């Protein structure tokens, strides 16, 4: 091992007996009537249990805003679950990442999540964001104009676009079998992800924190190369890959921070992103006394991406 320094019930309109059974709750706090349906329970109307920060927002996401099904066994999807914010895992130019524990009160069901919250465009600096977005288009004229003018609405749209871009990238790569965190859900500019770390909430170290040198890095290098080649074969480059967004979870290398995932075919600068990712990662291994063939890796990436 490397060393380290509310599901709603569906009732037929003709089912009067069941509707009457619900009618007694019409005026009760926490119960709401949805058009055409009997009253249903609204957890948000209740006070959050002592110590919790909010009710689970699982039901605020649609199927397209959740991770690939089937959902993993460790994930808590109960509508009666609550979220506890345990602290900050990481701060960055574009977003901050918080540690969340989602649990069902009075049970042993719980899971740890990483909540990545994107800032609006006034409070962050996506370096070379225009370059990353070449080949992407915003369909709505009003949205494109708001983004171009950097209005308050436009700034919020930009934050939402980057959050959605990362969610879509993680969803795609997870389905392709890449070693990335499972994307749990997205709500506005908050992205909830599988927490990569131990059961006590200690995050996995970044590759940059690994002190192993020389031959002891062989397995991690093979995993890093496999990740890059797999992305290239699917037509993508990470776009900002380095030793700082590769986590070492025990012996497994996990890739994170993917809002700028680059389509190497649609983006005219796609090949240069492949080259840069390879050069930066290979450079870290070389500095740790592990010999790598950077030129050979770049050639392999171009061949996998079918770039002449």
pLDDT (mean) for 278-288: 98
pLDDT on residue 199: 95
Provide the whole-model pTM: 0.77
Q: What is the 3-state secondary structure (H, E, C) of 105-136?
A: CCCCCEEEEEEEEECCHHHCCCCCHHHHCCCC
At 214-241, the pLDDT tens digits run 999 999 999 999 999 999 999 999 999 9
Sorted by where each begins, the domain ranges of the chain are 61-194, 207-304
pLDDT (mean) for 123-146: 46
**pLDDT at residue 300 above 80?**
yes
**pLDDT at residue 153 above 60?**
no
Measured distance CA(258)–CA(125) in Å, rounded: 15
CB atoms within 10 A of CB 276: 18
Average pLDDT, the chain: 82
The model's confidence at residue 1, banded by pLDDT at 50, 70 and 90, is low
pLDDT on residue 5: 58
pLDDT (mean) for 100-118: 96
61-194 homologous superfamily: Phosphorylase Kinase; domain 1 (3.30.200.20)
pLDDT on residue 94: 84
pLDDT on residue 23: 44
Its CATH architecture, for the domain 207-304, is Orthogonal Bundle (1.10)
Q: 134 or 214: which carries more pLDDT confidence?
A: 214
């Amino acid at each position: 091992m490397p060393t380290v320094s509310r599901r709603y019930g569906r009732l037929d309109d003709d089912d009067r007996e069941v509707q009457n059974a619900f009618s007694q709750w019409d005026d009760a706090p926490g119960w709401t009537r949805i058009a055409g349906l009997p009253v249903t329970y609204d957890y948000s109307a209740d006070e959050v249990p002592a110590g919790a920060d909010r009710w689970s927002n699982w039901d605020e996401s649609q199927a397209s805003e959740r991770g690939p099904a089937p959902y993993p066994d460790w994930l808590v999807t109960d509508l009666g679950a609550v979220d506890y914010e345990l602290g900050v895992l990481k701060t960055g130019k574009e977003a901050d990442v918080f540690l969340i524990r989602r649990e069902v009160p009075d049970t042993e069901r719980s899971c740890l999540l990483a909540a990545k919250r994107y800032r609006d465009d006034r409070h962050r600096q996506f370096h070379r964001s225009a370059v990353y977005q070449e080949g992407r288009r915003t369909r709505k004229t009003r949205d494109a104009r708001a983004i171009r003018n950097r209005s308050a609405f436009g700034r919020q749209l930009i934050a939402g676009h980057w959050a959605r871009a990362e969610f879509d990238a993680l969803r795609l790569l997870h389905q392709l079998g890449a070693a990335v965190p499972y994307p749990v859900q997205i709500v506005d500019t908050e992205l909830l992800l599988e927490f990569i770390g131990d059961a006590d909430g200690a995050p996995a170290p970044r590759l940059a924190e690994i002190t192993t040198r020389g031959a002891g890095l062989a397995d991690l290098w093979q995993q890093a190369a496999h990740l890059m080649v797999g992305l290239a074969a699917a037509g993508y480059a990470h776009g900002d890959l380095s030793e700082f967004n590769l986590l070492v979870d025990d012996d497994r290398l996990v890739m994170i921070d993917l809002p700028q995932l680059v389509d190497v075919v649609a983006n005219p600068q796609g090949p240069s992103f492949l080259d840069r990712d390879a050069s930066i990662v290979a450079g870290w291994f070389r500095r740790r006394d592990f010999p790598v063939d950077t030129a050979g890796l770049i050639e392999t990436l171009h061949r996998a991406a079918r770039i002449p």
